Amino acid sequence: MAPCCAYDPLHLVPQISLPLQPNQPLDSRGAFVVHAGSAVYIWIGEKCASDMTDCARTAASHVIAYRVAEGPVVFVKQGEETPQFWLVFETEQDRLRTPEIANKGGSVEGRPVVSLPKVPNDIIFGGILSRLPVRSLLRLMSVSKYWKSMIASDPRLALDQMNRSVKSTCSFDRRRILIWDLDSVFLQDKKWVGNSFFTIRKITCPVEDFSCHLIVAACDGLVCLRKRKMDNVILFWNPLTGETKRVSEPPVPTTPPNFSYGLGYDSSSDDYKLVRICAELSDAVNKVFRTMVRVYSLRHNSWKQVEDFPGQLLRPFLRPLLRPGVLGVFFNGALYWTTYDTQSEDEPWKVTAFDLAKEEFSTLEVHSDFKPESSYIQIRLLDEKLCLYYPPPHRERWERERGRSSSNFWLINEHDNSETWSGYAIDIPSCKTFTPLCLLKNDEQVSLAYGEGKIGVYNLEDRTLVRDLHIPGIPKDFEEVTFTENLISPDTYNGLIR
Amino acid sequence: MASSIENNNEKLTLKSSDGEEFLVEKHVALQSTLLQNMLDSDCSSADVIPLPKIDARTLALVLGYCKKHADASSSKQGELNSFDSEFLKDMDMGALFNLVLAANFMEIKGLLDIAAQKIADTIKDKPHQEVREIFHVENDYTPEEEAAVREENRWAFEGFP
């Protein structure tokens, strides 16, 4: 590159490294930045103006910063060139003379050929590796020390990887289900094979006695654990990389009967926030409890209190041992809970949202046909959609009213800041309730857990149970959350966007 | 109006590293941010734009991609997607690498994305030793260190040598 026009010294002109020799010098009016592999040379001509020299220095630093050239920067004045400097052009010349070496490489299948062209690191990490699933990346930590450090701690790579996971069209590649029972945690391991089943893999817990613990929140690839008997410690955990972080939480006098946590990502502050909703003693003398809300920032490692929770949390009515507190569901920048208002008789249930950027509560406006006949409204994230559902209520009445406003399974999709609601009816004979696990076939089907440890595929259009799935090793009773694998390290998290 | 029609028919010449010249319509060349920037600034009145890093075989592929994308209207996204997947089908690693380097140099984001994705799909299930060779990375681990790193993520190696 050479700054060529004196009136615009910032303008850089790319130039092929022509055969240059001591007897055919470079243009003495210019400064030339020469990228030579082992160093970046700045050659300054005899008649070169000083502002051009400065620009050349800036350009050289850009080449090093953005194009991953290797330093150091070596200044060479015209007439003082070293033999090494001229050697740079010799080798370049030789290389140009035999271009077939550089271009012939490649292999169709299998063994790579040594002569593949070398790709700069910014393309390798930013362009290629960020498109790989975490499992591949963890293996590639074994390539070299530099690769390990990039995969383990480069925030840009972690962000790109995560964004691409979310957008990934083959959702089961990256988006899985995290499952737990009283003793163990499992992760959905393989995508659907032949559309008939998936497999789960028991994963190593960061605590020895998982049975004394609860999973209280999860978002993307981060999971929060707490002891059943509150000991004022929350453990952040990335189950794929195994990294953890211990966080002290504001103490409560006794383990409260009703509590909830929610974990979400706030893009405005580039931060993961854990929200705790918990009855706390606000007046010790008169024993007054308030449903206080505290927000923990992973980035700043600090708690703060925000406005009290508006309403009453719905208690999960099933498996109180597995899930004594409901999990707030992260969707589109906010956490969602279903709440129950004992004061209101018309519409006692509500969907309450907590905006993670504004740190304010609001009520989600529901579809006019959403009229639950049950107070057991459950909320889940299914793929990238919010799902509200409740068990089919009094069967006879429901049968009669079918076709009117009887949808008990709603999918809420976000498009250009407005939500679209789609209602379906799920009713499985001789089964009181169900838990949706994931959507299949463009949302025509949903896989769900029902009855005594059964997992089936339900067709939403025909309202029929299509088939049962066999999932080896799945616990009879389990809880689950949607999980998107990523590389985020809870311990060193300092924002994803720099 | 007259000038804009004239501009549309304007052509420029690109020269590959091995000296082959390609005559390209301006709207096709504009798929490349690098060429766009060069055309926007007055300093590039040169008749021939040399692309010293890109050989003729790769440049022909790149221009084929640019032509398809420049000519297709935005409503034909589905058609472009099938063109993209067909375009890279059966392409060997060497060609893909050259394509990624060319797309990066010429700043053609769409092409860089699909070629990088194709490489990622290819290396996804390859053993790390092979990936190391593909990207010319020097192994700076001692055998003990390498074994320790592997042990940290043992589950990821299930089914791998």
Answer for the pair A226, A276: CB distance below 8 angstroms, yes or no. Answer: no
As a whole number of angstroms, the distance between CA A434 and CA A426 comes to: 9
Per-residue model confidence as pLDDT tens digits over B73-123: 666 777 888 888 888 888 889 999 999 999 999 999 999 999 999 999 999
Query: What does the domain layout of chain A look like in residue ranges?
Result: 31-167, 171-484
Q: Please state which of the ranges A41-45, A217-221, A358-362, B5-9 shows the lowest mean pLDDT.
A: B5-9
The reply to whether B133 touches chain A by the CB within 8 Å rule is yes
Contacts for A392-396: CB closer than 8 Å, 24+ residues apart: A392/A425, A392/A426, A392/A427
In this prediction, what percent of chain A has a pLDDT beyond 70?
Answer: 70
**pLDDT digit string, tens, across residues A205-225:** 999 899 999 999 999 889 999
CA of A408, closest CA in chain B: separation in Å? 35
Greater confidence (B89 vs A96) lies with B89
In the structure encoding, which two tokens stand for residue A235, read together?
């453990």
Show the CA angle centred on residue A174, arms to residues B126 and A443, nearest 5°.
135
Which of the residue ranges A95-99, A338-342, B20-24 has the most confident prediction, judged by mean pLDDT? B20-24
| DSSP class of B93 | H
Question: Tokens representing A288?
Answer: 């007054």
Dig out the tokens for B73 from the structure.
């209207």
Please answer whether residues A1 and A13 qualify as being in contact, where contact means their C-beta atoms are separated by less than 8 angstroms. Answer: yes
Paired tokens of A48: 């070169």
Q: Does B33 touch chain A (CB under 8 A)?
A: no
> Do A131 and B156 lie within an 8 Å CB cutoff?
no
Distance from CA of B116 to the nearest CA of A (A): 5
* Interatomic CA distance for residues A463 and A451, integer angstroms: 17
Provide the mean pLDDT of chain A.
Answer: 77
Using CB atoms within 10 Å of the CB of residue A104, give its burial: 0 to 12 exposed, 13 to 18 middle, 19+ buried: exposed
- Do the chains contact at B94 and A119, CB–CB below 8 Å? no
Structure-token pair, residue A406: 């009887």
Beta bridge partners of A457: A447, A467
B152 touching A (Cβ < 8 Å): yes
Residue B52 with chain A: CB contacts under 8 Å: 14, 16-17
Inspect the interface and report whether the beta carbons of A105 and B150 lie closer than 8 Å. Answer: no
Q: ipTM of the assembly?
A: 0.88
Across the interface, whether the CB atoms of A142 and B117 are under 8 A apart is answered: no
The larger pLDDT score, comparing residue A37 to residue B107, is at: B107
CB contacts < 8 A (A, B): 131
CB A140 within 8 A of CB A151: yes
Average pLDDT rounded to a whole number, residues A33-47: 70
Q: How many helices (H) and strands (E) does chain B have?
A: 9, 3
The sign of the CA dihedral B46, B49, B52, B56 is negative
* Chain B residues with beta carbon closer than 8 angstroms to that of A147: 137
Phi/psi zone of residue A143: left (φ > 0), alpha (ψ -120 to 50 degrees), beta? alpha
B155 touching chain A per CB within 8 A: yes
Chain A residues with CB inside 8 Å of B124's CB?
132-133, 136
Most trustworthy range by pLDDT among A11-25, A108-122, B102-116: B102-116
Q: Do A104 and B94 touch (CB under 8 A)?
A: yes
What is the pTM for the complete model shown?
0.70
> Which B-chain residues 64-103 have CB contacts (< 8 A) with chain A?
90, 92-98, 100-101
Task: Pick the residue of B96, B137, B150 with the most A CBs within 10 A to test the interface with A by mutation.
Answer: B137
Whether A131 and B117 lie within 8 Å, measured CB to CB: yes
Are the CB atoms for A12 and A59 separated by under 8 Å? yes
Cα A401 to chain center, whole Å? 41
Q: Check if B48 contacts A (Cβ < 8 Å).
A: no
Bridge-based pairing of strands A329-331 and A334-340 is: antiparallel
More confident site: A237 or A400 = A237
| Distance in Å, alpha carbon of B149 to nearest chain A alpha carbon | 6
Residue with tokens 């058609």: B79
Report the pLDDT value the prediction gives residue A40, as an integer from 0 to 100: 74
Report whether pLDDT(A465) > 80: yes
Tens of pLDDT along A352-369?
999 999 999 998 888 888
Minimal CA separation from A43 to chain B, in Å: 21
Predicted pLDDT of residue A215: 92
Contacts of A129 in chain B (CB under 8 A): 120
Q: Which residues in A lie closer than 8 A to residue B160 (C-beta atoms)? A: 139
How large is the average pLDDT for residues A286-304? 90
| CATH number of the structural domain A171-484 | 2.120.10.80
Question: Using one digit for the tens of pLDDT, what is the confidence trace for A135-174?
Answer: 899 999 999 999 999 998 887 888 788 777 665 544 445 6
Please enumerate in sequence order all residues whose Cβ is within 8 A of that of B15, keeping only pairs 6 or more positions apart, or say none: B21, B22, B48, B49, B50, B51
Distances (CA, A) of A10 to A1, A2, A60, A272: 11, 10, 12, 42
Cβ of A143 and B139 within 8 Å?
yes
Q: Name which of A176, A172, A178 is nearest A195 in CA terms.
A: A172
Nearest CA in chain B to A202: B155
B110 to chain A, any CB pair closer than 8 A? The answer is: no
Q: What's the whole-number mean pLDDT along residues A263-292?
A: 86
Calculate the CA A74 to chain-centre distance: 42
- The one-character DSSP state at B21 is E
Q: Which of A5, A120, A127 sits opposite B43 (nearest CB)?
A: A5
Q: What is the pLDDT of residue A372?
A: 77
Supply B128's token pair. Answer: 């790390």
CA distance A20 to B20: 22
Provide the β-strand partners of residue B118: none
